[in-house]
Chains A and B, each alone.
Chain A
Amino acid sequence: DAGVIQSPRHEVTEMGQEVTLRCKPISGHDYLFWYRQTMMRGLELLIYFNNNVPIDDSGMPEDRFSAKMPNASFSTLKIQPSEPRDSAVYFCASSAGRFIGYTFGSGTRLTVV
């Protein structure tokens, strides 16, 4: 298996622009997670899905952030409009079940200028 695939690896955008991050989980994993990592706050869970259904979105910072999982093999995280404080590394991870470890993607480094 190719692992969790994220795209793009790097994104530089101007404040106010829409940004879409993409994730392909490992086939057969029924949990998908979006995390954000910064030096100041570490790894923060934004939202997670189980069988394509959002289960917990309490970590989504505000209405500017939205996530979808239209099918078992694809998810997006969208920021509209983007702000400089959104600059971070965004990770997608998938898992085959509870208490089973996560497999993380390589992340998308987002810079909003």
Chain B
Amino acid sequence: TQLLEQSPQFLSIQEGENLTVYCNSSSVFSSLQWYRQEPGEGPVLLVTVVTGGEVKKLKRLTFQFGDARKDSSLHITAAQPGDTGLYLCAGAWEYGNKLVFGAGTILRVKS
């Protein structure tokens, strides 16, 4: 059982469509991070959110941290083929510097 549950597991959409990926947990996290991973490479940090209710925007990507700091979402507007990859959420607790990762959402954007 994953501490962080991501949904959907797989998403295949057409270029130009919008999508939302969810990350849920029963645990409260001090911070939550989103990463994107391409085949053959390590995950790359997209954003860190630390405040309940926080919303961050990164061009076409919008990240939200839930008020109770147990869940998060990633919304992509007008998806492009370059957005294709594995999206991972990861949570950290108050003490230490250990991240636990969700299983990820595989996104495929078709042109």
Contact present for B41 and A107 (CB under 8 Å): yes
Q: Which residue of A lies closest to B41 (CB)?
A: A106
**Contacts A42-B104, A48-B97: A99 and B31 contacting too (C-beta < 8 A)?**
yes
Main secondary structure of the interface of A (DSSP, over half): strand
CA distance A100 to B33 in the complex (A): 9
The answer to whether the Cβ of A50 comes within 8 Å of any Cβ in the partner chain is yes
Name the interface size band of chain B.
Answer: 20 to 34
Contact present for B45 and A103 (CB under 8 Å): yes
Q: Produce 1/0 per residue, B38-57, CB < 8 A to A.
A: 00111111001010000000
Main secondary structure of the interface of B (DSSP, over half): loop
Contact present for A97 and B97 (CB under 8 Å): yes
CA distance A99 to B30 in the complex (A): 8
Q: What residues of chain B lie closer than 8 Å to A48, measured between beta carbons?
A: 97-98
Contact present for B41 and A101 (CB under 8 Å): no
CA distance A45 to B3 in the complex (A): 13
Contact present for B102 and A42 (CB under 8 Å): yes
Interface residues of A (CB under 8 A from B): 4, 31, 33, 35, 42-43, 45, 48, 50, 55-56, 91, 93, 95, 97-107
28 pairs, CB–CB < 8 Å, chain A vs chain B: A35-B101, A42-B101, A42-B103, A43-B101, A45-B98, A48-B97, A48-B98, A55-B96, A56-B96, A91-B42, A91-B43, A98-B96, A98-B97, A99-B50, A99-B92, A101-B33, A101-B35, A101-B45, A101-B48, A102-B33, A102-B45, A102-B99, A104-B43, A104-B44, A106-B40, A106-B42, A107-B40, A107-B41
